[in-house]
Amino acid sequence: MNKEYNAENIQVLEGLDAVRMRPGMYIGTTGIRGLHHILWEIVDNSIDEVANGYGDTIFITLHADGSVSVEDNGRGIPVDIHPTMGVSGVEVVFTQLHAGGKFNNDTYKTSGGLHGVGASVTNALSEWLKVEVFKNGTTYCMEFCSMEENGKVRGGVPKTHLFDTGIKSAHTGTKIRFKPDGRIFETTVFNLEMITKRVRELAFLNKGVRIVLSDERLNEDNGQFKREFLYEGGISDFVKYLNETKTPLFPEPIFIEGEENGIKLELSMQYTDSFTDNVFSYVNNIPTTEGGTHETGFKSGMTKALNDMARKNGVLKEKDANLTGDDFREGLTAVLSIKMQNVQFEGQTKTKLGNTEARTVTDHLVSTLLTEYFSKRGMGSVADAIFKKALLAAKVREAARKEKELTRAKNSIDNFNLVGKLSSCSGKKPENNELFIVEGDSAGGTCKQARNRSFQAILPLRGKPLNAEKKRIDQVLANEEIRTIISALGAGLGEDFDIDNLNYHKVIILSDADQDGAHIRAILLTFFFRYMKQLINNGNVYLGMPPLYKIAKKENVRYLYTDAELEVAKKEMGKNVTIQRYKGLGEMNSEQLWETTMDPKRRKLVRVTLEDAANAEKLISILMGDAVDQRREYIIEHADFNREDTFVDNI
C-alpha cells in the first residue's frame, strides 16, 4: 500500500506542545518520579539563586488543593521586556524552551539547570501555574493555564501578560505555584517523604541555606506538617548524618575545600568500622548517582595522597607495594560536591558527569588539599585510624585474591558453583534473557517446569545468602549462595563489575510473600547495593510479584495481589466464591506460576531503582546493620504492612 509522504505530512509542534506530546523526553516518566521532577525543576532554580549568594531562604508548600508552591528571597525573575522576544522576562522563562539565565555565566556562576527547559516544562505539564515576582518595591503577577484548542489540549498558555498588582513588597524574590495536570501524570499526589529526603540533601549541600517545608494537606494519614532544614556544617553534617548508625573511627569528619580553574570543590570524609565504602558525589547540587569524572579524580587523588603520606611516615616500607584505592576506601563515607560552569552531564537525567577537566582538577585538588590537611596535623589519631584500616583491608584483599586463584585453579569458579543449580536458558542475547533467583529448591523446581526455556533461567537458593552489610569481602566470597549468584551473572564484583558482561538483563528475585521471603529479598538487595550497585542504577533488578489470593466462582478465576484487590473482587463476584491464600510459591503448580508470575504478558514486577543513594545507604545501615535500637525505632515509626507500594511498575 503506497502512502504519499509530502511536506504537508510533517507536523510542526509550536511552543510547549512538544512537551505535552512527549513528556518522557523532558522528565523521564509520567509516573511518580516525573511528577516530582517538575517540582525539582522549580526548586533547583531557587537553589541556584541562593547558592550564588542572592538569598538564603526557600519555602516549599504542599497545598490542600493538590498544588505546590516554591518561594525564595532571591533577586526575582526579570520583569522587564526582553529585547528580541518583546515580552517580559517572566513570560519568556515560562513559555520558551531553552530559555533562562543559566546560559549566561555572568548571571549564574554555577547552576543545576542544564538545558534551560525547567520552568517552561513544569508550566507545560501543569493544569495551571501562577508566578509572583517581588521586585522594585512592588509585586508582579502572571498566570498560565491549560486549555483545549482545535481538539487538543495545550498547556502553559498565558492568561494575561505580566502585570503590576500594585501590592507593595519590602523584599525581593519569586513565588511559583502550580498544579500538575492529571491528564499527563499517572498520579498527581506529591509524596512528602520523597520531598523531605531531597530537601534535607539540598540543605546539607548548601551550608547556611534555610529551607522550610510545609504540608497543608489534611486527610486520615497526613496532618499539617512543617519542618525547617538548616545545616551550618554543610556536607560535614551530611557525613555525620550518614554515619549515625555506624561506629566512626574518629569523631569529626575531615573537611577540605578549594578552587581551581573555575571549579569549586568541597569534600568531607570519615571512616567507620564497616567493610564497604560509600561515596556520594554531586555537581551543582545534583546527585551524580553513576559518578563520573569528578568521582574518578577524587578516588585517584585520595589514593595518591595517602600512599605518599604512608611512605613519608614509614607506614609503608620501600619494599612494600602501594595500597590500592579499594584498601583506602574500606569503611569510608565521603561526600564530594563540586560547583562548575558548562556542565556536561550524560543525558537530561543528570546522573553522570562527563567533563574531562573535572577529573584533572578534582584529582589535583584532593591530592594537594589532603596532603596539606595531614601535614598540619601530623600522624595523629585520625591518620593512624585510616592506615590501620587500610592495612587490614589490604591483608584481607590479598587473602581473598589467593583463595579466588586457588579455587579457579582447582575447578574453575565460573562453572563449578553452578553445577546442579543453575538451569540456564537457550537464548544467546543477554538483553532478552531473564534470571529468576528463587527461594528454595521446591519452588525452584516448579519454576523450572513453568518457565520459557528460550529466555528464562532459574537459580534456586538452597539456603539464605550472607548479609553482606555485616561481613568483609572475603567472608562474602566464601558464601556458596553468593558465589553462585556472582558466577551466574558473569559480570564480576565491586570495582571490577562490568555490566557489559552481564549474562541476564533482567535479574528477578522471586520469594514467598512472608517474613522469610522479605528477609531474603532484603539480603539480596543489600548485596547488590554494596557490590553490584550499577546493576540497580541500570534498572536490571526486579522483584517478582506472586499473587496473594486465588478467588474462584465456577469458571471465573482471578489471581489477586493485594488485600484491596481481594475486597473489590469479592464485591464484584458476589456470594459462593472460594478463596485461597497463597503462603508460598510452592502452593502453585507450574501452570499457575507461569500464568501469574512468570509470563511477561500477565505478570507484575517491581523494578528496583535508586532514587536517593544517600538515603538508601542510611536505610540499609539501619535495617541490615548492627544498630538494633535505631532499627526498632524505624520499624515502629514506618512499618505499615497494609499499604501498597506506590513504586510498583507493571513490566
Q: Which residues are catalytic?
A: 439, 512, 514, 516
Q: What is the Rg, in whole angstroms, of the alpha carbon atoms belonging to the chain? A: 27
Number of helices (H), then strands (E), belonging to the chain: the values are 21, 22
Closest C-alpha to 542, from 390, 409, 432, 434: 434
Q: Which three cell numbers stand for residue 127?
A: 493544569
Is the Cβ–Cβ distance between 509 and 524 less than 8 Å?
yes
What is the Cα–Cα distance from 74 to 55, expressed in whole angstroms? 5
What is the Cα–Cα distance from 427 to 452, expressed in whole angstroms? 10
The phi and psi torsions of 354 (rounded to 5 degrees) equal -115, -5
Q: Which three cell numbers stand for residue 313?
A: 611516615
Spatial neighbors of 338 by CB under 8 A, at least 6 apart, are: 263, 264, 265, 266, 281, 282, 283, 284, 294, 358, 362
Spatial neighbors of 108 by CB under 8 A, at least 6 apart, are: 48, 52, 101, 102
What is the Cα–Cα distance from 418 to 485, expressed in whole angstroms? 9
Closest C-alpha to 32, from 236, 262, 220, 186: 186
* Residues 640, 643, 646, 648, Cα dihedral to 10°: 100
Question: 3-state SS string over 422-459?
Answer: CECCCCCCHHHCEEEEEECHHHHHHHHHHCCCCCEEEE
- Show the beta-strand stretches assigned E in 570-639: 578-581, 605-607
Closest C-alpha to 540, from 638, 609, 458, 460: 609
Q: Locate cell 498566570: which residue?
A: 143
The SS3 call for residue 170 is coil
What is the Cα–Cα distance from 106 to 133, expressed in whole angstroms? 21
Spatial neighbors of 416 by CB under 8 A, at least 6 apart, are: 407, 410
Q: Which three cell numbers stand for residue 25?
A: 523526553
Q: Which three cell numbers stand for residue 200?
A: 534535607
The SS3 call for residue 34 is helix
What is the Cα–Cα distance from 287 to 294, expressed in whole angstroms? 12
**Nearest-5° angle of CA 600, CA 606, CA 612?**
145
What H or E segment, with its residue span, contains residue 309?
helix 293-312
What is the Cα–Cα distance from 482 to 174, expressed in whole angstroms? 53
Is the Cβ–Cβ distance between 487 and 414 less than 8 Å?
yes
What is the Cα–Cα distance from 129 to 145, expressed in whole angstroms? 6
What H or E segment, with its residue span, contains residue 527?
helix 515-531
DSSP 248: B
Q: How far is CA 139 from CA 60, 86, 514, in A?
A: 19, 21, 58
